[in-house]
Amino acid sequence: MSLLFDPSLGTATEIADAVRSGTASASDIARTALDRIAAMNPVLNAFTDVTAERALAKAEAVDAARARGEALPPLAGVPFAVKNLFDIEGLPTRAGSKINRERTPAVHDATLVARLDAAGAVLLGGLNMGEYAYDFTGQNAHDGNARNPHDTRRMTGGSSGGSGGAVASGMVPLALGSDTNGSIRVPSSFCGLFGLKPTYGRLSRAGTFPFVASFDHLGPMARSTADLALAFDICQGPDPLDPHLARRPVTPTMPELGKALDGLRFGILGDHFKRNGHPEAFAAVDVVARALGATREVVLPEAARARAAAFVIAAAEGAALHLDRVRSRPQDFDPDTRDRFIAGAMIPAAWVIKAQKVRRWFKDRAAEVFADHDILIAPATPCFAPTQDQKTLVLDGVEMMLRPNMGIFTQPLSCIGLPVATVPIWLDGAALPIGVQIVAAPWREDLALRVSAALEGMGVAKSIVAEVMA
């Protein structure tokens, strides 16, 4: 195969440019990606389904359109893959579970998959995830654990673990994930990726398997801010299939990326976000704050309580969704999720309703903070990617269960649906990346992405393709 550039190292934007200019054909790029998946997936366990036939047919169609002289859409020939809770036509939507494999194959693609496909992108398959998305580790008892491309002994983070591994290893430049309590931001941090959790209600959830209706978000993960913005812009828009979608105008973010940061008011989140972490989490925040000239600390009042509210709501709603399955066939669950769903099914209603009140109260306090700030900065995870066998975590001298506490910094923010771009930071001498959350006011993904792009342009945030020994 003679490609003029290596698409496994390229971003989605670069690949689309190469296809448009004829530097590479979509078919060659798809075949290269499939070869890379065949070589690497036995090590990384990122893909659970590879849609090779569909990918090659789509790539040929892109090449044929170019041969006819047609204008190519923005993602023409760009390989992508999706967390396996997105419907993919012809496959049962497993959502990381054993039980869902018995579902009839999806008749249509999920809305966001269809939108990327319509933009010329080439779907390569479904990606590993924690069972039913109740996970921060990327581990899965049915499909095996996703492994971190930067160190395969370590976790990818979850629950969009396969999405993290697939993009960080260069199998694909772009993936879709979901984020309920941190499931895009945690693997983006551990795998060194740019990730976007948009505002709650911004992107259609139609055709995806739910987890917690109050907090479920979908979004892209990539190795550049421009790719996030491009995918996000394509994914926006009304969708009659999603009754929960907010009625907001489409807000293109791509034109905002090159703009200067002059005038933006930054705050470094204090209190809860300055505790409960290892030194690397705070060092990464310092690096970002210095680059942005941010010096002012600001407190989101009662962030720990907001996290507690999210914890209760997620446990109760997730358990209610799965109650029949947990009752009738508990042995078919991943033990790590089953036991949490069982406990979640036992929550008194008053706790949940009060938690929803706390959520409303906290949202109003956040709005007050955003009256004086455009961007808030916070760690994404409390530490670097843990090893696969790690079960507990020591934070501020207290040993706690690792699985529910990886989201200690992400959960208060998704609780009120704030848009967050996660940027990957490589600290001096560090062998692993760690993420920082760039948090904007509701509906201001443009600002979060603009800051992400600026940090990337300064070389402060960067995503690198891991060298994996296949």
Partner 1 sequence: MKDAAFDPTAHVAHMETMMGLTIEEAWRPVVIGHMTAIAKAAEMVMGFDLPDDIEPAGVFEA
**Least distance from C-beta 446 to partner 1, angstroms?**
15
Q: Counting beta carbons within 10 angstroms of the beta carbon of residue 258, is it exposed (0 to 12), middle (13 to 18) or buried (19 or more)?
A: exposed
Instruction: Compare residues 229 and 309 and give the one whose CB is closer to partner 1.
Output: 309
Residue 84 CB, nearest approach to partner 1 (Å) = 25
Query: Nearest approach, Cβ of 79 to partner 1 (angstroms)?
Result: 32
φ and ψ of 21, to 5 deg:
-85, -10
Structure tokens, 298? 């600001």
Nearer Cβ to partner 1, position 192 or 404?
404
Instruction: Return d(Cα 322, Cα 317) in angstroms, integer.
Output: 9
List, as one string, the DSSP characters of 163-221.
HHHHHHTTS-SEEEEEESSSTTHHHHHHHT-EEEE--TTSS--TTB--S-TTT-EEEEE
Q: Do the beta carbons of residue 154 and residue 190 sit within 8 Å?
A: yes
- Nearest residue (CB) to partner 1, 349 versus 469: 349
Q: How far is the CB of 416 from partner 1 (least distance, A)?
A: 6
- Is residue 18 within 8 A of residue 28, CB to CB? The reply is no
- In the set 8, 58, 83, 204, the catalytic residue is 83
Q: Is 83 a catalytic residue?
A: yes
Q: Which is nearer to partner 1, 108 or 248 (CB)?
A: 248
Within 13 Å, how many C-alpha atoms sit on residue 77's CB side?
A: 31
User: Which member of 183, 214, 414, 452 is catalytic?
Assistant: 183
First to last CA, the chain: 19
In terms of phi and psi (left: phi > 0; alpha: psi -120 to 50; beta: otherwise), the region of 15 is alpha
Shortest separation between residue 236's beta carbon and partner 1, angstroms: 15
Task: Work out how close the CB of 69 gets to partner 1 at its nearest, in angstroms, rounded to a whole number.
Answer: 44
Query: Which residues fall within 8 angstroms of residue 121, CB to CB, at 6 or more apart?
Result: 12, 75, 76, 77, 78, 79, 80, 174
Shortest distance in whole angstroms from residue 173 CB to partner 1: 29
Closest to partner 1 by CB, 88 vs 416, is: 416
Please tell me the distance from the alpha carbon of residue 450 to that of residue 253, in angstroms, as a whole number. 8
Q: What residues line the site for partner 1 (CB under 8 A)? A: 199-201, 214, 246, 302, 304-305, 307-309, 311-312, 315, 323, 326-327, 330, 335, 338-340, 342-348, 350-351, 353-361, 363, 401, 404, 416-418, 442-443
- Sorted by sequence, the CB contacts under 8 Å of residue 215 that are 6+ apart come out as 180, 181, 200, 310, 313, 314, 414, 415, 417
Residue 357 falls in the annotated catalytic set = no
Question: What are the E-state strand segments in 41-146?
Answer: 47-50, 79-83, 122-127
Catalytic annotation present for 98 = no
Nearer to partner 1, 11 or 405 (CB): 405
Could you list the active site residues?
83, 159, 183
